[in-house]
Amino acid sequence: MRAHVVLAEWLLVPRALGFSSDANGGFRYDDGDLTAAASIDPRTQHFEIQRAERRDSDSDSTSFGRRRKAESSARAKLCRMVGQVSAPPRGVVILDFGAQYSQLIARRTREARVYSEILPYDASWAEIEKRNPAAIILTGGPESTLGPDSPGMDPRILKSGIPLLGICYGMQLIARDLGGELVPLGHAEFGPAQLENDAPQSSLFAGIPATSRVWMSHGDSVVTPPAGFTSLAHTARCAIAAIGDEKRKIFGVQFHPEVVHSEFGKSVIENFLHGIAGIDGSWEMDSFVDRSIAEIRARVGDARVICALSGGVDSAVAATLVARAIGQQLTCVFVDTGLLRKDEAKNVIEAFRDVLHLNVIAIDATERFMARLAGVVDPEEKRIRIGHEFIAIFEEESNKIDDVRFLVQGTLYPDVIESKTPGSKAGHKIKSHHNVGGLPETMKLELLEPLRTLFKDEVRKAGAVLGLPPAIVARQPFPGPGLAVRILGAVDAQRVATVRQADDIVTTEIEAVADSLTPRPWQYFAVLTPLQSVGVMGDGRTYADLVAVRAITSEDGMTADWARLPHELLERISTRIVNEVQGVNRIAYDITSKPPATVEWE
């Protein structure tokens, strides 16, 4: 990876940082801790950091990983000192054809330390080319390549010479556009399958066993590969499960290597990235942070910005990232919707003012939100009304501050994908998120979403790079609409109080033993259902509410499994809720994974 600094900024660097010219027309830097070599690219006129090292690193170490980490740290330090990073490292463009798990492909590339960016399937060649990708990946999708209006791609992609990998729909698209033959299956193939590796010599399947488990999800199949391609693998129901043209570096797999159900899928992706495309795998979260700070500065300029604080890790990291970029130009607005967890408003205000030292305006809007939600039962309508009320409040506050142009939100990649925004044109919408699909069509403020391309675990890593305390970085996720989407049916003050008290019991009991649980639960909460049931309490008949308990394990929130909590723990939770929360006489535990369910009940 090379870090790039805009040449105009470089003119101030020698005096400020102590760079000096070397005998070869390049530049050198040495401050006793950090050494670097650099030059100016004659084509782009960018100042390029070609080598960066810390003196305390072991340059002769046999650990490539330690040397690479030290170099990345050195580059990041130098880029922060210069203060302007202009371009991301050369990486992968992922063309999204609407698969719900397209973002998992991006996640797998980043796990391989390769920068990736998702573009809509119909992105022009100009949009792709300006990113200078080292490789392109075509995702799966819900449509059929045999349909008359099936999504396609710019034909110049296949002629570009850039290494290309098609997954599921992407493989079928490559085969169709290059003259292969496809047919619809009599019965679609969904779920696990045994993959037989027919080409162990193939660079795509290097190190992959002769037989392995993969995950299939397709209704069409390639029966004749295009000219120049060979069949690389098959399953019992799919005669051609992978194809490749080693000379042109174009490959396709019918299975989904990005999901954990494909046991060697990660290796297949890494073979493509490192072995075929030749990408070195040097992207770090430091790179993202530095680039984001530069992009925020460039976009915001001298304008004022307000940030919507929710109390969760997403808004905390987003606010801190923006504050690093523009300092006192940022004002944070914390809105108490009346839908927060127990003591959350007080704790959040103290954390952001006293720990992060941000400028925070606190607003108690409980009555406004309760009025907006009165009588609303439909979960989609709840999210939309909450989103609209948030924006109304922020626009009101922005009118009190001169020259406010931007609103910061902690929108993440899963929010974008599930809401099916224009960035994922072919996808099928799952639900609106209040900070994506719940926004009004017209609003006075421009959105600033610095975390929009990150997954939850990557946000935590960014928070650690920014120096946020563990108490903030490690907080469990909490939905933007708050407890409103943990109350099935109408929302009122009494029902909010009920679910808040039950949720506090769930949280307190699980967190008391969470570090001893394997795997550690990712998220846990209570849900107030609209169901009531007969019970007996104190020798008397009751007819009271049913509360559901939800606890999941996950890596990124896009897929999840229900947590296997010890029975003793579930017993304590159940006993406490029934005894301490008025109006509840029955507890149920949710044992549904995602998919088919979502994490939240609404």
Pairwise CA distance, residues 78 & 169, whole Å: 42
Euclidean distance between CA atoms 322 and 317, whole angstroms: 9
Whether domain 92-276 has CATH 3.40.50.880: yes
Query: What's the whole-number average pLDDT of the chain?
Result: 83
Q: Indicate if the pLDDT at residue 77 is higher than 80.
A: no
Amino acid at 55: R
Cis peptide bond N-terminal to 469, omega within 30: no
- Model confidence band, residue 501 (pLDDT cutoffs 50, 70, 90): very high
Q: What are the structure tokens assigned to 258, written together?
A: 């990005």
Decide which of 52 and 209 is more confident: 209
Cα distance between residue 213 and residue 333, in whole Å: 49
Q: 147-177: buried (b, 16+ CB within 10 Å) or exposed (e) per residue?
A: eeebbebbeebbeeebbbbbbbbbbbbbbbb
Q: What percent of the chain has pLDDT above 70?
A: 81
Question: Cα Rg for the chain, rounded, in angstroms?
Answer: 26
**Domain-wise residue ranges, the chain:** 3-82, 92-276, 298-473, 487-589
pTM of the full structure = 0.64
Assess whether pLDDT exceeds 60 at residue 422.
no
Report d(CA 97, CA 243) in Å as an integer: 19
The neighbouring-strand residues paired with 192 are: 215
pLDDT at 445 (0 to 100): 81
Helix (H) or strand (E) holding 37: strand 34-40
Q: What is the pLDDT of residues 276-293, one digit of tens each?
A: 999 988 888 887 888 889
Return the CATH architecture of domain 298-473.
3-Layer(aba) Sandwich (3.40)
Q: What is the pLDDT of residues 137-176, one digit of tens each?
A: 999 998 988 988 899 999 999 999 999 999 999 999 999 9
How far are the Cα atoms of 313, 511, 519, 560, 574 from residue 514, in angstroms, in the given order? 19, 5, 9, 17, 17
Using the structure block, give the residue that is written with the tokens 């050198």: 28
pLDDT in tens, 436-479: 444 555 567 888 999 988 888 889 999 999 988 887 888 888 88
Strands 27-30 and 304-309: unpaired
Residue scoring higher pLDDT (551 or 316): 551
CATH of 487-589, one of 3.30.300.10, 3.40.50.300, 3.20.20.10, 3.50.50.60: 3.30.300.10
Q: How confident is the model at residue 52 (pLDDT cuts 50, 70, 90)?
A: low
Of 4-18, 183-197, 223-237, 444-458, the range with the highest mean pLDDT is 223-237
pLDDT band with cut points at 50, 70 and 90 for residue 271? very high
- Active site members: 168, 256, 258
Reference 314, options 419, 207, 453, 412; nearest CA is 412
What pLDDT score does 61 carry?
Answer: 41
Domains 92-276 and 298-473 share a fold: yes
Strand segments (E) across 158-309: 164-167, 181-197, 211-224, 230-234, 242-245, 250-253, 304-309
Please check the confidence at residue 275 and state whether its pLDDT lies above 50: yes
Distances from the Cα of 573 to the Cα of 275, 501, 512, 543, 583, angstroms: 51, 12, 12, 20, 16
Rounded-to-integer distance, Cα 305 and Cα 403, Å: 8
In the chain, % helix, strand, coil (3-state, to 5) comes to 35, 25, 40
Top mean pLDDT of 240-249, 295-304, 343-352 is at: 240-249
Residue 53 is predicted with a pLDDT of 65
Contact 460, 131 (CB under 8 A): no
User: DSSP for 405-427?
Assistant: EEEE----HHHHHHHT-GGGTT-
How is 108-145 classified by DSSP, letter by letter?
HHHHTT--EEEEETT--HHHHHTT--SEEEE---SS-T
Q: What was the pLDDT predicted at 34?
A: 65
| Paired sense of beta strands 34-40 and 92-96, if any | unpaired
Question: For residue 310, what pLDDT band results from cuts at 50, 70 and 90?
Answer: confident
Rounded Cα–Cα distance for residues 95 and 118 (Å): 6
Residue 308 — pLDDT band, cuts 50, 70, 90? confident
CA 184, distance to chain mean position in Å, is 33
Compute the distance between CA of residue 155 and CA of residue 490 in angstroms, rounded to an integer. 51
∠ at Cα 442 (440, 446), nearest 5°? 100
Residue 228 has pLDDT above 70, yes or no: yes
